[in-house]
Structures are given as C-alpha cells and as structure tokens.
Structure 1
Amino acid sequence: MEALTAFVSQINGIVWGPPMLIAILGTGLYLQLRLRLMPIFKIGAGIRWVWKGRNPSPDAPGEITPYAALMTALAATVGTGNIAGVATAIALGGPGAVFWMWMTALVGMATKYSEVLLAVHYRETDARGQYVGGPMYAIKNGLGSNWKWLAVLFALFGGLAGFGIGNMVQSNSVADVLQVTFGVDKWVSGIVMAVLVGFVLLGGVKRIGAVAQKLVPFMCLAYIVAAVIVLVMYAGEVPAALALIVHSAFNPVAATGGFAGAAIMMAMRYGVARGIFSNEAGLGTAGIAQAAGQSKNPVESGMIGMMGTFFDTIIVCTMTALVIIVTGVWDSGATGAALSSSGFATALPGVGEYVLALSLAVFAFTTILGWSYFGEKCWEFIAGTAITMPYRVLWTLFVLVGAVTQLDFVWLVADTLNAFMALPNLVCLLLLSPVIAKLTQEYFAKR
C-alpha cells in the first residue's frame, strides 16, 4: 500500500505541478482576452442575471431555474476549499497566496463563463426527455464524433473522482468536525448524512436544486455575517491585512512564529492550486449543473454561471483569509480547518469554533449533493439512464463509508482524478473558443 501511495503521490505532483497550473491559468487568461475582459466588466450584469434567474421565462427549455442551477453548482464548490483550502494556502504560501487566489478567480470567471456557455449551447435531451450537458456533450457535439473518446475520458474521470472528492472526503470532514467539536460519534453522523442524502437524491435534479437554492444562500450569508462581525471587531487591522496580502504576493515572506517562510513562487503555487480547488474553474463541473437550467440563450446562462466563481472565491474565500490574517493566527503553525477555527475562536472565544464547525459541516454536506449530480450525469453519459438508480444507491452508501474510514489515499486519488478531468475540458475550451467568442459577440451586438 505504501508503494501504491508513493506512486500516486508522484503522479499527483506531476499533474498538479506548474504545467497544469499554467495550463489552467493560461486558458483562463486566453479566454478572458478573447472575450475582451467581458466577464470582469459585466460583473454587475451577471449579478442582475442571477436575480432574474429566479423567475425565468415559462417557455424557456430546461429542468430547473437558472438560479437553482447556479445554487447546485455553488453547493458543490462552496465547501472545505473555502475554509480548509484557504487556510492551507496561507499556511504554506503566506498571505500572498490570497492575492493569487484572487487572480485565479478573475481569469477563472472567463473559464467558468465559457464552460457554461458551451454546456448549454451543446446540451441535448436524454432518454427521459431531460436536458443534459457539460464538457462531455460539448466535446461530442462541438468537436465531432472523432473526439468522443475524449468525452468518455472526461466522464470517466469525473464519475470516479466524485466518489472521493465529492462524497467520502466531504462526509469524512463532516463526521470529523462533529466528533471533535460536539462529541457526535462518526457512525451516527454517517447514518444521518446517508439518510438525508438518499432522500434528496430520490427527487433528482429538481429536489437537489430546491434544497440547494434554500440552503446555499443561507449558509453563505450566515458564514459571511460571522466573518464580518470578526472584521468589524478588528477593523483597524483590515487595511494592514490587505497591504500584507499584496506585498507578500511579490516579496518573499520571512519565517515568523510557527510560519516557516515562503518564496514568491510558493505563494503563487499554493494560491493558484487552492483557488482552483475552491471554485473548480477549469474542471468543467459547473456546466453540468447549468445545462439543466431553463434558458433561451447560452450567453445568459454563462453570465449566471461565472458569478459562481466570483461569489465562491472573491467573497467567501476572502472572508476566511481576512479573518485568519487580522486575528494574527496566520503564522501560528496551524494549517487547514484548524487554522480557520483558530481565527474565529480568537475573535469570538467560546462561540467562534462552533460557528466554523457548523459552517464546515453544512458546506461539506451541500458539496455531497452537488457532486452527486455531476457524477450521475458523467456515468449516464457512459452507460445510459439505466445506471441512475444503482448509482444513487451506491452514492448514498459511500457517504456512510466515508464518514467512518481513514481517507488519506482516497483524497490523493480523487485529487489526481480531478486533474485528469481538467485536461479534456481545457482542450475543449481552447478548440471551441471561436464558438464562445462568436456567440458572445452576436449576443451583445444585438444589445
């Protein structure tokens, strides 16, 4: 087992090394420039479209509202990456890692916009008459039958990765934090989560969307309010924290306290890697959810979809980062969720750690729901709709398995499969970039 772990670790170091980070950032930058920075200039319009997406035109084709589709996508991305991922980036790369997370999000908005646009433009109906889409359908219908092998690879990697990164890793995080903070036995947490997940999955995408559009805004708002309370308490430290983030992005950070120090390259590497882990821009998953949304125009769906990256990284991740920095715990030597918990506990003793624990539990639970849909559509692309019910039963069982087992190797494999997911998606985005530019130009030319 040790040899296998070492082998997978080597592969993981390669696929998530500088070439992959450059490929994801480079693709996003290329799309951002090809779109003439539209995703950045149209952030205000994107927010308006998110609001309009709550009540789409009744005759727009799709299964759920665009707003519910966005919440389903956000359910999958707003999770441990926003709490543990941000903290890990700061612990290993210093405060400057936050700056590179922002940069990743700004170019990632173009990537996410393009993923969703292609997913809706090339979507189709399955055997049940429901709309389905995502990178696999964009590759098959946009690049042609000669490229179907690439679509199958994406679906295979996504379908396998989901059981790890979107299921067992998340249920394990919930069970662990509930045991440490509240003394709840992991078996109890696992059974309760499995029952809740199974109930939601039986209703398909409509029930997932209904739960997501209620739970996701509430959990994000509650977490942001808690973070804002901390930032108000430390208001005098906020300008210095922002200055430290920017300064550290371009200057080495010396060792201090429990922090071992970090070079500029470390800040960039961990900021980009954790930013991608948080918002999933480049993995193609958001398009799978948005393809089910009611829409008459893929550009409008893309504008709604790109706001997921904005909300996830620019807002939620920034809140976590500022809490960690202004409370002065960033150089304590702690990492992951423990570092984030330390920040809230320092500002809100006796309360902060419970706020973070509950936030992490809800974030991770909604990630299980969002990723369940991504994985389902991947496996249906490969095996057809007959696999739906067996998949849902298996997914529910894996929630329980993840809650009660040690998952270091599962995390490693799933993280590696995520990188393999990104490769077909990036190829698709680059080859179909003329279509993305053309549809975007035509849409705005009419306005």
Structure 2
Amino acid sequence: MDAFGRFLDHLDGLLGGAAWFPYVLLGVGLFFTIYLKFPQIRYFRHAIRVVSGKYDKKGHEGDTTHFQALSTALSGTVGTGNIGGVALAISIGGPAALFWMWMTAFFGMTTKFVEVTLSHKYRVKTDDGSMAGGPMYYMDRRLNMKWLAILFAIATVISSFGTGSLPQINNIAQGMEATFGIAPMATGAVLSVLLALVILGGIKRIAAITSRVVPLMAAIYIIGALGVILYNFDNIVPSFLSVFTDAFTGSAAAGGFLGASFAYAFNRGVNRGLFSNEAGQGSAPIAHASAKADEPVSEGMVSILEPFIDTIIICTLTGLVILSSGVWTEKFETHFERSSMVIVKGNYNEQNEQDRQSLYNYLNGKPSDVTPYSGDINVIQGKAVNKDFTIIHSRSVGEDIRFGITERHVYTGVVSIKDGLPTDPSISIKGKSLVHSAELTTKAFQRGFFGDSGQYIVSIGLLLFAFSTAIAWSYYGDRAMIYLLGSRSVMPYRVFYVAGFFWASFADTTLVWKLAAVAIVVMTLPNLFGIVLLRKEMKEAIDDYWVKFKKDNES
C-alpha cells in the first residue's frame, strides 16, 4: 500500500498537484466568464425562477424535474468535500486555501453552465426509455471525437469510485467510529446494503430520495455551523481577514501548524474546490441530462446554482467553523496515518525558529537540511529510547509518541525505519498532532453552543452528505457504462461499485483521498478541452434561448 500511495502521489504531482492544473481549471472558467459576459451574475435570478418550476411545461422529454435534477447533482457534489475536504485543504494550505476554493466556485459557476447546456443538448434516449447524457455524448455526436468520448467515459467510471464511492464511505466510517464507537466495517456493511437497494431503482428512485435528503441535510448542517460561528463571534472578522491576507502570500506558522507556501495554498484550494463543486469535471451534466426540458440552456442556468450552494455557502460555513474555533492549529491525540506521516532525521523543536523554518522548507518543497530517517528506533513499553528523530504528522511535529502493534498493544523491541516510514506496516504510532479531514471538522463543531453534542451534527451531516453523493455517483458511472458497453454492463458495474464502497469503509483515509484527487483530474481535462472547442456554439445557444424565451412570454 505504501508503494501504491507513492504511485498516486507521483500521478497527482503530474496532474492535479502539478503547478499548471489550477491555472487551466481557473483559466477556462475565467475565459467563459468574460466570453459570455458574467452569466453567473446576470442569470442568477432567472436560474432560481427556472428551478422553482415557473416556466415548466407538460410534454417535455426527461425523467426528472429541474429541482430533482439539481438535487441529484447537488447530492453528488455536497459530500465529504464540504466536511472533510475543506478541513483537509485548510490543514495543508492554511486559511488561504479557502480563498482559492471561492475562486474555483465563482468561475466554476460559468464552467458548469456551459458543460451542462452542451451535455443536455446532445443527450440520447436509451433502450429502456430513460435519458442518458454527459460530455461523452457531445464529444461523440458533435465533435466526432469518439476516442475522447471513450476516454472521458472510462475516466467517469474510475472517478465514480475515486470520488463517489471510496472517499464518501471512508469519511462516514471515520466519523461514526470517532463519535459513536461503531467499527468501520460494520458501518460499511450496513450502508452497502442500503446503497444497493437504492441504486437498483435507477434515476427516478435516486431523484426522489435526493430531492428529500438534500434540503434536510443542508438545514441540519447550516444550523450546526452557525452554532459554532456565532459562539466564536469575536473570531469571525479575524478569520475572514486571514483568508484574504494569506491568499497571495501563503499562511505563516501558527500554533502547531508549521506553515504553508502560496503554491500549496493555491494548489490545494483549487484542487479541493474542484473536488467539492465538481465544476469542469463533467459529472453534474450527467444528472442534468435527465431533466424534463426542451431548452438545454434553461437546464444550464439551473446548474449555476450548484457551485454557489455547495462552495460559496456550505464550504464557507465549514471553513469559518474551523478557523473561528481555532482547532486547526491545535494538537489532539490521534493515530498517525502512514500516508500523512514522515519520520525525519534529527530532533527538531517547533518552538525554535530555525528548526521551524527548516521544517517549513521541507514540507513546502523548498531547499532544506531536513532528510527522511533511516535506521532503528529502540522502543521499551511503547516509548522510544533514542531521540535522534522527529515524527511529522499532518504538517505538525508529533508529541507524546507511543509505538504499538496494530493499535492495541504497546510495543517493545526495535522498529526499523526506511525512508521515513516503519518497514513493518503493523507497527502503530499514536500521539498528539494536528488532525485533518472529517476529524478536524468534528473537533471544530464541539467548540460552539452545542458543546460536545456538535460532533453528532457532523456525523449525521457526513452520513447524509456522503451517502447521497455515493448514490448520485453510481448513476454517473452506470450512464458511462451504458455508453461504453451497453445496458447489460450496468448490473456488473453496480456490484463492483457496492463492493468498493464496503472496502473503503476500513481503508487508509489519506490513500483514498489521493486516489480521488487523481481520478478527478483524469476526468476533468477532456471535458475542459471539449467545451472550449464548442465555445461559439454555446454563445449561439444562449442568444437563441433568449429570443425564444421573449417570444414565448410575449404571446
């Protein structure tokens, strides 16, 4: 698994983690924003009217209403990215990461408008009478690039696991274990059965469920978040200021946080923003293709609301909860995950300015005298005898370190370290460090009016958010399978999807996030390429829509 983790790191470095990717993603959104004259602002009010059903007419082809399509798409985006993803971005990039999530969302509103409109326009009716759409259809039917359509569809299937199935249940299981003490495998088993029951009903059952769950889960989470933010009222303004002041400089060291460069904040903020709202990824168009509408632009306008609700509202609430509560700089007792940990040579003290700077440089890819540790650590009753090493976990110096065997028994003996990690993966390391993902958000929700009970809001919210995301992504995957191999491939896909969902409930958290990061980019790049090629058609479609809209409403 260590080798697989390093392989994913390498891929992420070439793709989503590469310096060029955020510029491509934001650049496409910026281009369409200017090219189409800020549609995310000009059409926002109209989008609300469309989704409310004001312009609905009988007889339009499709499987769902505008609201149901929006709910399904939102259920696919509002998930662990809003709870665990924001926390992960801040834990890596500091407050500045939230600013770049906002930028991704603002420009992403236009990107989503474009991709949904084009995908809805070229949707098809399948053998069972349901609608199927998505970027693969405009790539095939309009661009005549079947090879690109196949590449996108394959990436969609992969991403359905890397985005929809694996990280969602992983975070649910983590939260349920931390809050209620339920074994991850038990959580995975129960929810896997429920997932199978839902997705077998197809898009109509999925839409019916998500249209009820999405408003409920949003209300619960918003109330809980406001309970923390208002409790820490004095920290609201400083938290906002830190987001803006650090945006172009990176975040300095604070508390246990060793600091993050601009490059880390920018890259992780954009990357997590994409994981949260999926603007440009091409996933939401698959859900919107099912909507009952004869005008693709009208459905595109509905999709403008998604990044706004998902990132501008919900992710901002999560970010303010974490920043205003101050938990992002505090160390907590935790299990050190191998994929978030490195053991370095030498005894470093974070209170020492020179040591802190050396560690900052090392973690941010700058020249540093810090090197991974290789050698033996002598341990007696869980405590290290030699002190010639330092454990870095979640971008902080680990304290009160204890070695064990499979997390249950203290260890006595020699722990062999190679390139910064124990050679024996059964060796468990616990201690105090910063935490990330859903665990960090859970800690933050306990610093409000609800006290320790706030953790239950996170667990319930995470359960609803993540489970609904897994449901939506199963639909995205089976539409891609229909394009690739036909309707007969859907059932085998669903079986593998549920099996992967169960497996990820007890897998390494950070490893799952790494897989998701790679899968997202593999899916996004072909879609961005395709919509840029169809920029003129998009502009013409908007002009035609308004001509017809005015004519229909005048008569």
28-37 vs 414-423, greater mean Cα deviation: 414-423
Cα shift readout 1:247-300 (whole Å, capped 9, x = no counterpart)? 221344321101212333332222111111110111100000000011121111
Structure-2 change in CA distance of 1:56 and 1:202 (3 Å): farther
Match of 1:325 among 320, 323, 328: 323
Q: Equivalents in 2 of 1:283, 1:310: separation in Å?
A: 16
Structure 1 residues without counterparts, runs of 5 or longer: none
The question of whether the paired residues in 1 share the 8 Å contact of 2:504 and 2:512 is answered with: no
Alignment match, 2:447:
346
Once the two structures are superposed, the pairs formed by residues 1-16 of structure 1 within 5 Å of their partners are: 2-16=2-16
Bigger proportion of residues as strand: 2
Deviations 1:382-417 (A, max 9, x none): 001111222223322332222244465554334312
Q: Give the letter for the 1:109 counterpart.
A: M
Give the Å deviation of 1:125.
Answer: 0.9
Specify the alignment match of 2:497 in structure 1: 395
Cα shift readout 1:143-180 (whole Å, capped 9, x = no counterpart):
02xx1010001001111221233112222221222122
Question: Larger RCO: Structure 1 or Structure 2 (Cα < 8 Å, ≥ 6 residues apart)?
Answer: 1
* In 2: Cα distance, 1:197 partner to 1:122 partner: 30
1:242 partnered with 2:243: no
Q: Distance in 1 between matches of 2:230 and 2:50?
A: 31
Residues 300-344 of structure 1: CA deviation (Å, up to 9, x unaligned): 100111211110000000000111111222322332222211211
Write the deviation string for residues 109-157 of structure 1: whole angstroms up to 9, x where unpaired.
011101110111111111222211101001011202xx10100010011
Residue 88 of structure 1 corresponds to 88
TM-score (norm 1): 0.95
Larger radius of gyration: 2
1:176 aligned residue: 174
Once residues 434 and 307 of structure 1 are traced to their aligned partners in structure 2, the CA distance between those partners, rounded to angstroms, is 23
C-alpha distance in 1 between matches for 2:531 and 2:506 = 39
Using the alignment, how far apart are the partners of 1:76 and 1:131 within structure 2?
A: 18
Quote the offset at 1:37 in angstroms.
0.4
Contact 2:112–2:300 (CA<8 Å) still a contact in 1? yes
- Residue type of the partner of 1:255? A
Which digits, 9 at most, give the CA deviation of each residue in 1:316-374, with x for residues without a partner? 00000111111222322332222211211122322111211221122111111010001
Contact preservation (8 Å) 1:40, 1:106 = no
Cα distance change of structure 1 residues 113 and 189 upon mapping to structure 2, 3 Å threshold: same
Choose the corresponding residue for 1:295, options 286, 289, 293: 293
Report the counterpart of residue 130 of structure 2 in structure 1.
130
**Pairing of 1:112-123 with structure 2 (within 5 A):** 112-123=112-123
Aligned equivalents of 1:87 and 1:211: distance in 2? Answer: 28
Which residue of 1 is the match for residue 384 of structure 2? none
Match of 2:23 in 1: 22
Rounded to whole Å, the distance in 1 between the matches of 2:272 and 2:166 is 19
**Is the contact made by 2:195 and 2:498 (CA closer than 8 Å) also made in structure 1?**
yes
Q: How many pairs does the alignment contain? A: 444
Q: 1:260 & 1:111 partners in 2: Cα distance? A: 35
The residue aligned with 1:309 is 307
Query: Could you tell me which residue of structure 1 aligns to residue 350 of structure 2?
Result: none
- Report what 2:536 is aligned to: 434
Aligned partner letter, 2:445: F
**For residue 376 of structure 1, what is the aligned residue in structure 2?**
478
Aligned-residue sequence identity (percent) comes to 38
More displaced 10-residue stretch of structure 1: 404-413 or 297-306: 404-413
Deviation per CA, 1:184-214, whole angstroms, max 9, x where unpaired? 2233212221221111112100000000000
Backbone CA RMSD of aligned residues: 1.8
Following superposition, the deviation at residue 69 of structure 1 comes to 1.0
Structure 2 match to 1:43 = 44
Q: Which moved more, 1:131-140 or 1:353-362?
A: 353-362
| Residues 1:91 and 1:401: Cα distance change in structure 2 (over 3 Å) | closer
What residue ranges of structure 2 are gaps of 5+ in the alignment? 331-433, 551-555
* Aligned 8 A contact 2:229 2:324 in 1: yes
Question: Does 209-218 or 242-251 show the bigger shift?
Answer: 242-251
> CA shift at 1:75, angstroms?
0.8
